[in-house]
Structure 1
Amino acid sequence: MSDAQVTTRRAFRRTDDYNPGTSKLKLVEKTLPLPLLPTSVLVKVHAVALNYRDANIANGGNPWPVLPNGILGNDAAGEVIAVGDKVRTLVLGDKVGPIIDTEYISGREVGRSWLAADEDGVMADHIVFDEAVLCKLPTHLDWVEAATIPCAGVTAWSALKGMSIGQTVLIQGTGGVSMFALKLARAAGLRVILTSSSDKKLEQMKEKFASPPILTINYATSPDWNQEVLRLTRGVGVDIVIENGGTGSLVKSLKCTRRGGIVSQVGYLAKQNPMELAELVSTIIDRRVILRGINAGSKHDTEDCCAALSASQASLDDLIDRIFPFEQAEEAVQYIWEGRQIGKVVLKL
C-alpha cells in the first residue's frame, strides 16, 4: 500500500429524525479502514454533488429501505492517494468517483447495492472503495463539475439512449438530472421541450440556452400539458420523455409520446398515488410506448459517458446552481428539499 498519511475521516451521517425543523445530518469522525485490502483504494474527496434523492432519504421519503444513520451522498469526485498492493487499474493522482450501484458493473448483474442506501455514501472527506467500482473521471473538468457525473450524468446518459439527431425530447423539471439531460440532448442535436411549474425558471432556461432555442411549458398553469406537447409536435408526440414525476405525470407522458417512442422513468418527485395509473396499461398498448426504468447505469455506462465528455471536452460549469462548503451540508440538503435549485448543488472540500 502507498503511504496515505491519513488515518481518520470526517463524514455526515443521517440523524434519521424526520420531524420538520430538526437536524437531518451529524458530522462525525471515524478511523479509516487501514491498512487497505489488496484491491482497495483510498480517495481524498474534493467535491460531493447532491441529488433530490439525498434530501428525500434525509427526510424519510425513500421508497426503499436504507441503512440506519448511514452516510449520505452518492456523487463524488476525488483523488487517489493510496492503493492496495493488488490494484492494477488506478494509480496515485487519478481523478475518480465510485459508481452509485456497486453491484452494477456490466449491466447483467441481478443484485443491487446503492450508495447512501444499502451501504454508506460519499459525503465524507475520504472514502475507501474496491477498484472495481471506481471510474476515472474526465481530466479536463474541475472537481465540482466532475462530481456531477456518477449519478445525474449517468442517469441522463442512460435515459437518452437510442436517440437520433433531429428527434425531440421532453425533459421534466430543472433539477440535476434534467439539466444534465438537456446538456447532452443539445450536444446530440436533439430538439428540447422543457417543463417546469415556474415561469421564472423557464425564462432563465430560455435565456441560458438561447441558440438553438428550447421550447417550454409551465405544467402548473397548463394542467393538460400533454396536449400542449402534442400541439408543439403537430400531433405526433415526442420521441422520448425524461420522466421524473411518477404516478401524477406518467400517463400524461405516455399520451404525448409518439407511437413506438420511449419514456425513461428516472425519478418520483411528486407524491405517488397508484390511483392515477388507471389508464397506464391501455395507454402503453395503444401508443406502443416503451416504458423503461432508469436506475442510473452500470460501470460500463459510466465509462461511456465519461468517454463522450472527454472526447467533446464539454464543460459542465453551466449545470452548477450553487456550491456550498462541505461544512454546510445540512443547508445544502435543505436547499434541495425546498426545490430552489436549477441544476446541480455541490459541496466543495
Structure 2
Amino acid sequence: MNEASLRSGILGSLATAGLGDALGAGTEQWTIEEIFEAHDGPIATLIQPPPDTFAGAEGNLKGQITDDTSQMYYLAEDIIAADGALDEEVWKNCLLRWADNSPHVGNMGPSTRPMVEALRTGGNPHRVGLVGTSDRQVASMGATNGSSMRVAPAGLIHPGNLEGACQATLATCIPTHNTNVAIAAACAIASGCAEGLKPDADPFSVVQACLWGARRGEELARTHPRARVAPGPSIARRTQLAVQLGMAATSLRQALLATRSWPASPFRPRSGCSSMPKGIRGTPSWPDPAWATTRIPLRPSRARWPARCAGSTPCRRTRTQRSRRPTGPNTTSNRSRTDWFA
C-alpha cells in the first residue's frame, strides 16, 4: 500500500461521500416508489431539494452537502490536528466546534441536538432523555444514525486494520450514540472504509469487513461501562439479509423494492377456514405469490380441532400424520430463509 494510492483512496472516499450526501438530500423522507415515479427511476443527477425534505426546508441548494458530510469533514480535520490520536475528548471538542460554526447545524438529528446542549453546559449527555425519575434513557436516544453518517474518517486512518477502526469508532460513539445499535452500525461503516483502502479489496471483502465490524461493535457495546444495550434489530443480521435480497435480485429496481418494510404480522388465517385457531394454519400476508400455497407447520400442543373446516378440507389428523414431518417443496423444513425472498 503506497502513499499515492492511499492518498487517492482517502480523498476519493471523502469526496464520493459528500457527493452521495448531496445526491440523496433531494429525496430524503421520500419512499422508493415516490422517487421512481417522480424521476423515472433512481436519482442519477443532483437536484434542488424540494420543501418536503430536510435539506429543502433548511434552504439548501442543489449539490450542497448536509450535516452528515459536514460532521464527517470536521472529524477528519480534528483527527489530522490530533495526529491521528482520536479519543472521546477529541470528538467532543470536534462536535462542539461543528455546532458553533457549521452552516448545517439546522439539520442536527434527534440524538445529537440534546447531547450537544448537554456538552455545552457541562452536563452528562447520558442523563439526557431519562424515563421519569429512573436512570434509564429513552430507548431511541442515542440509537439513531448520527454515529454512522460521520464515522468514515475513523476507518480511513486505519487502512486494513479493522480492530483499530472499531476502537476509534467507539470513541466517537460513547458521548452521543452509546447504544449497541448505533455502535454496531458505525463500526460496520468504519470497518468497510478500512478494508476498502487495501489494494486487493473488492466489494465482497468490503461487505465481509462491514459484517465483522457490526459484530465487533455489538461486542464492544456489551462490554464498555458507558455503553448500553437498547432494543433494536441486529445490524449484522440486517446486513446479511440486505445482501441476500440484493444477490437474489435481477435488477437494481427489484433490489431496491425488495428492501421495503413488510407488514408487522406475516400471517393471516387461510381463506375458507375461519373456524381454525388464528395463526395456526395460514398463509403469509407478504405480497409474494410464491407464498400463496405455503402451509405453515405450526400446531399448539393441546389444540382442539373441529371435525371439518368450511369447505372440504379435513382438519383432524391421526397421530401418525401429526408425527410426520412435512417434506414438500413449499414447507419450511425444505426451504432456506434465502429462498423466502427469492
- Which one has the bigger helix percentage? 2
TM-score (ref. length: structure 2): 0.25
Q: Which has the higher contact order (CA 8 A, sep 6+)?
A: 1
Work out which of the two has the higher radius of gyration on C-alpha atoms and give 1 or 2: 2
TM-score (ref. length: structure 1): 0.24
